[in-house]
Structure 1
């Protein structure tokens, strides 16, 4: 049973639906897995729970990513 965990910033539900479908199809095509066996977990992290180069995400400018 393939299990995929994705860590990301919050995204729109429609985007997550599409990504989950594409990931599922990749496992079906490449591994021959059944769609029902593929699980995708989204772990969304906001800027107050993430830092890069010692700076909290909520304090970073968009240009610095």
Structure 2
């Protein structure tokens, strides 16, 4: 009765990894929201603050964006 547990664990791990790998293709393409970035950087420059984007804001890319 102890033999199925390791195989079940391996099968479950493989299924989870396969699911995670496939999910990236299903997401809509995104790009940096340059309009928002420019707005924030302009406001920051007016008050003398430097902005460093670690995770820049992203937006879904529409079909007409190319």
Q: Same fold by TM-score, threshold 0.5 exceeded? A: no
More helix by share: 2
Larger radius of gyration: 2
More strand by share: 1
